[in-house]
Amino acid sequence: MTGISQTLYATVLWLVQFMAGTVGVAFVLHAATYRKPRWRVSFAGWRKHGPPRWWLKATGCGTDSSALQERRLLLAGCGVRLDPTIYLASRRSLIFACVGAACFAAAGGAFGIVSEVMLWKTLPFVAMPAVVAAFDKALLDSFKRYRSDRIRKELIAVMNQLIYYMGSRLHLHGKLMRCMPYTRIIRGDFQLLLNEWYYDADKALLRFKERLGTSEGYSFAETMRSMRLHESDEVYRMIRDVLAEYKAGIELAKAGRKETASYALFVLAGLPILYTFQIFLYPWVRESQKLFEVLKP
């Protein structure tokens, strides 16, 4: 009996210790991961008032320049909802910081403060963000074209479904609701369009095409506006014309990708020829030159 009571007492004590330890670990994790809202409030105020003017002037983003307009269009086409002035100022600040760090490291290597091994290991990591930031326009443009192709395919599916509902008594909002399963990339923006539809359809379409930021989004929004005002055979004929334009754009993009792939394969095919000349033919050419130099009177 005494052994049973001791076992029961030890079990209860172990459970109490286990519960106390669990509660303690939970409190420690909560204290380590919880952040007070003062930073959120400060960031919200910073977002409301915008970036500092001195920073924008120092990076040359205080005025509406052509570079700023290009980044605005590219960011909108990529679906990045970021202020282009903040993006351009951050890009230029990053390039300036990386170049300054590289110059500082090179000066340290010249004066012997930093070893050459450490210098050559550090410079690539310092230069890589600057290189990526310098070629951001090409990267954003390529992603914009990729996103436009995906959006174009989804809008083709949506418009085909609208043509399928031609003659139906459904309201345009109901037809668009039934087109939701055919969307993937634009599903969030499409859902917002349907949610904002009954508040103000024109403003909802305007915000929808601004969120997409592509020419396909603009043409789709204008087509839906015409269809909302007057649903007739002319509107469906216009939808078929837009579909034909989208399909032509898809075929053109495919042809462009095939041409790019053919150029890449052509370059790759030239590499073995180059190495063949360098390894097998060049030594013979060099020996022939030496022989002619010896035989020259």
Determine the average pLDDT of the residues in 126-154: 85
pLDDT band at 137, cuts 50/70/90?
confident
Are 215 and 79 in contact by the 8 Å Cβ rule? The answer is: no
pLDDT at 37: 47
99-105-108-113 Cα dihedral, nearest 10 degrees: 160
3-state SS assignment for residue 33: helix
Phi-psi region of 112 (alpha: psi -120 to 50; beta: other; left: phi over 0): left
CA–CA separation, 74 and 132 (whole Å): 16
Average pLDDT over every residue of 215-227: 87
Write phi, then psi, for 5 (nearest 5 degrees): -65, -40
CA 34, CA 28: separation in Å to the nearest integer? 10
**Distance from the Cα of residue 55 to its chain's centroid:** 25
pLDDT in tens, 164-208: 888 778 888 888 899 888 888 888 889 899 998 888 888 899 999
Contact by Cβ (8 Å): 13, 51: no
CA distance 132 to 90: 13
First and final CA of the chain: distance in angstroms?
A: 120
What are 222-270's pLDDT values in tens digits? 888 888 888 778 888 888 888 888 888 888 877 777 777 777 777 676 6
C-alpha angle 180/73/154, rounded to 5°?
20
- Across the range 277-288, mean pLDDT stands at 66
Nearest to 135 by CA among 86, 95, 100, 99: 95
Q: Among 139, 144, 118, 143, which Cα is nearest to 129's?
A: 139
CA distance 221 to 224: 5
pLDDT of residue 60: 78
- Inform me whether the pLDDT recorded for 278 exceeds 70: no
The tens digit of pLDDT for each residue in 68-126 reads 888 888 888 888 888 888 888 888 888 888 888 777 777 776 766 766 667 676 777 77
Task: Give the side-chain half-sphere CA count within 13 A for 284.
Answer: 5
